[in-house]
Chain A
Amino acid sequence: MIRQVSMIVLLMWSGAALASMAEHAQRANTAGIDVITYKTNVHDVVVIVAALPGGDAMADGGNIAVPTLAGMMLDRGTKAMDMFAIADKLDSVGAEVDFDVGTQSLHIHAKCLKKDVPLVIGLIASELRTPAMLPAEFAKAKQQFVGGLQASSQNSGARAHEAFERRIYPEGNPNRPHTMAEFAAAAKSVNLDEVKAFQAKYYGPAHMTMVVAGDVSDADTRAEIAKAFAGWSGGRDYIRSPATSAAASGPREINVALSDKPSVTVILGQATGLRYRDPDALPLRIGTAILGRGFTGRLMSTVRDREGLTYGISAVVSDDSITDGAWDISASFAPSLLQKGIASTRRELDKWWKDGVSAQELAARKQGIIGDYLVGLATTGGLADTILVNVQRGYGVSWLDEFSQAVEAVTLSQVNAAIKAHLDPASMVLVEAGSVAADGAAANHHPADGGAAGGHAAANGRPPSAH
């Protein structure tokens, strides 16, 4: 009874929301930037998120540390103000501005009170257009970059993902990362002129998107953007077509040995050859959620809940907003339970791939995805991030409305066909990062502990979990 009521009401809520969401958004080009404003019910809070092509993949055959260092130099002063003066202006009103360099994008995240929107937009513009690029600050940025890399080199999750992505993406693919060691070596040899040249070449309005959400006035916001960014030009497009379409090659099992790690990170997956907007992409995403999203995903229900082999295991589709992406299962296992955990994971993967998902699973998961999506839009930050990524994927603001309908329209046959067409468990890459020996055996065994028996549920009189 509860379930039926919930479903009906949720759909009514979704319908009401869907009819009006895009109407709150206004999209137009301002000072050469694709600007979207969205008025929400929040009082006095404004969130600004933006992105432009300036990520690591734009190193363009040059020094690979340049894009990250260019981003790190942005909040270290402008030609008009040193970094402490900028920090003082922001801190004195409680505003926040952060820059982050990703695979293809330079991301900007800001939050402020309504009255401070002109200040924050002005500072973002100054930092992007006229960074000071002082040699002394550049030296500090390099030192911090290298120090951060060294710290990350001991993180089993970061090392596992690095190895996985380097194995599934071929040379020339923008999603293929350089190693942390390569970044560190490059950072030591890079010079400031290279960073200045990168900033001049890539930072510009031509392919920049900015979302301003919250307690905003569209007209006032655009006026501030027009003033702050007037006369700015340039910018390059994202790398939408990789230089190579060749498949990556190499071993199917990779061991990243890290000393004294009581938990091993495991990644099992492959490149998909799919982008977010491809017809099979959404069916594959929904099917993947049935396998590996949340407590009720098959992996958590079995490998964690029934067998007790891991704290966390999930399956995701990733990196497919601009170019073809990846599919993977990630999990953590104690070294002594590693082989058992991998075997259970493969068992669930094979079953899912071979037999597909059921109509009941699909119906429940579609409803959950829609509900989760709508809850995520209830904060200004969540809404702004969603709009930005939608635009990067090539959608208009109407996708805010259309997403739920697209999910609803996916059929069982589409899901099961997409799984079969784009994944192949037999050829997936397996990465283990942690204290494991080269042959996958535990490098620092704990006393024998076999994990929990899989059949315990029946032992206490209950049937096995019905998933």
Chain B
Amino acid sequence: MYRPSDDLRHRCAMIAAAALSALVCAAQAGAAPASAAPATSAPATTPPAVTAHAPAPADAGSDGFTHIKSLGGIDEYRLDHNGLTVLLVPDHSAPVVTFEVTYRVGSRNEVTGVTGATHILEHMMFKGSDAFNDAKGNSIKQLLERVGGQFNASTGVDRTNYFATLGKENLEGYIAIEADRMRKLWLHESDRQSEMTVVRNEYERGKNDPDNVLVEEVTAAAYVALPYHHPTIGWRSDIEHVPILKLRDFYDTFYWPNNATVTVVGDFETGSVLALIKKYYGAYPHSPAPIPTIYTEEPAQTGERRVVVKRPGEAGTVVIAHKVPDGRDADQPALEMLDAILSSGKNGRLYRALVDQGLSLSAGSGTDLHYDLSLHTMYAALNPGTPHEAAEKALWAEIGKIKASGVTDAEVARVKQQFIAQDAYKRDGTAAVAAEISEWIGVGDWTLYVTFPQKVEQVTPADVQRVANKYFTEDQATTGWFVPVAAATGAGS
């Protein structure tokens, strides 16, 4: 019943990203009938039918759109009037559709004083507008819970998304509300006050888990200048005090069609769905000002950094983090292969070296892919009695073996087969496909949803050894320990 999670089967980079980015959502699973965080699935590796720049499907309803390209069964369009990007992924296996809008704004767009603003704004997006609100009985939650749609929203470092999976017959009603709140959202101070305490409780729930705190502090130490330094949910004081005018400013800066991508996956007809998107999003102009870009660059790290978190608890944790290139970089597929070899189930090198040897309950590695510098982490959740030094040494030893001796052809071949299977699995369900595409949009290139697995398939053992030597040096590490301490007198159980 209380079985520890010892299954470290292949955890891809994007899953690691979801785990470490502290994605925060409008509601918990169970409270809302929706997946809490985007159910990011593994990038797959089967080469899809790549038809870059293929002719656009000639559907009625596509007037006003420019077909940009088609790749791996995904058609990209641009709404000429305002620059909205549309990705269509038809799948007629079930009469459901997932509709997701991804705004290219995340906590990387925040500065001191407004940390967490992206996430608070995501919550405020459920507060209604003149046309759609609770009092009228037609708010987004009322519509979707009345028809049985599964919906939520999430905020990450590089993107914010809103999504629903519902019967295809109900799609227009959802598009109407989703488009409406792009530019016509209520942003009332009274709503901010009530939602602030909601978000603060979300923050507090995260603080209940010492491992979350450890990852947050390791990330803050690893990034000095880039805004990935602060947590997506924000600092507590900023959550409590951010003025409504700052949220309004954020909304009016980033929530425009030319800063958004609509992704539709499931049972729809292309012409009809484009017509609906044009009907509801076409009313908006292009943003009046260019969307701000981030010009900050992370300075070079000049030596190892260390973080220690001491809190009541039972079992320690070791995390070793390294900054690696952005998610679009050509070295990322080799890093993905390396992580799969380290972390893939009982055959993963970390399982054999740490879990099977009794040092840890679980161990793994992955890259939190970002638009700017990404963060690679290795971790070990220690068995009671295991010294932190021993687990840290074992993690370094496994990296050291790869740096010195590389990986085997058999290991690489096995991972490639896993990617082939993952490619098939992700076709079972529309929500997971939309969620993964949204993550790649945040990284800066949706086509990586298709091409990243292909690139992983081209990775050689030599590539894996090369990236291990290139990025994983002790001088560039940020190492964190969670050290359990005894409970304070009178409060322990």
Contacts and interface: CB of A to CB of B under 8 A. Distances in A.
Interface of A: 2-3, 5-7, 9-10, 12-13, 17, 40-45, 47, 55-56, 68, 71-72, 75, 83-84, 86-88, 90-96, 98, 100-103, 111-113, 140, 143-156, 158-159, 177, 180, 183, 214, 256-263, 293-296, 300-301, 304-314, 316, 332-334, 337, 364-365, 367-382, 434-435, 437, 443-444, 449, 451-453, 456-457, 459-460, 462-463, 465-467
A272 to B, nearest CB: 19
B148 A148 contact: no
Given A13-B169, A300-B31, A452-B193, A41 B6 contact: no
Contact of B148 (A88, A334, A367, A465): A367
B147 interface: yes
A41 B381 CA distance: 40
B194 A84 contact: no
Contacts of A376: 150
Given A13-B169, A146-B384, A156-B208, A91 B345 contact: yes
Interface in B421-452: 421-422, 424-425, 427-430
Given A42-B93, A296-B142, A149 B427 contact: no
B135 interface: yes
B380 to A, nearest CB: 12
Contacts of B197: 308-309, 334, 337, 449, 451-452
A6 B194 contact: no
Contacts, number: 326
B145 A368 contact: yes
A7 B32 CA distance: 21
Nearest to A100: B3
B294 interface: no
B194 A262 contact: no
A187 to B, nearest CB: 10
Contacts of A143: 358, 383
Contacts of A177: 1
Ranked 9 nearest A-B pairs via Cβ: A371-B148, A94-B421, A148-B4, A9-B169, A308-B194, A452-B194, A259-B487, A456-B190, A295-B141
Interface stretch (B75-83, B102-110, B198-206, B218-226): B198-206
Contacts of A84: 346-347, 352
Given A41-B93, A311-B202, 17 more contacts: A42-B93, A84-B347, A145-B3, A147-B315, A154-B314, A155-B208, A263-B201, A301-B134, A307-B194, A311-B28, A311-B205, A371-B146, A375-B150, A375-B165, A379-B428, A456-B190, A456-B191
Contact of B491 (A259, A364, A456): A259
Contacts of A374: 96, 148, 167
Interface of B: 1-7, 9-10, 27-28, 30-33, 92-96, 126, 133-135, 137-138, 141-143, 145-150, 165-167, 169-170, 172-173, 176, 188-191, 193-205, 207-210, 240, 311-315, 344-347, 352, 355-356, 358, 361, 381, 383-384, 413-414, 417-422, 424-425, 427-430, 487-488, 490-493
A55 B2 CA distance: 12
Residue of B141, B193, B204, B209 most packed against chain A (CB within 10 A): B204
Contacts of A333: 201
Nearest to B203: A262
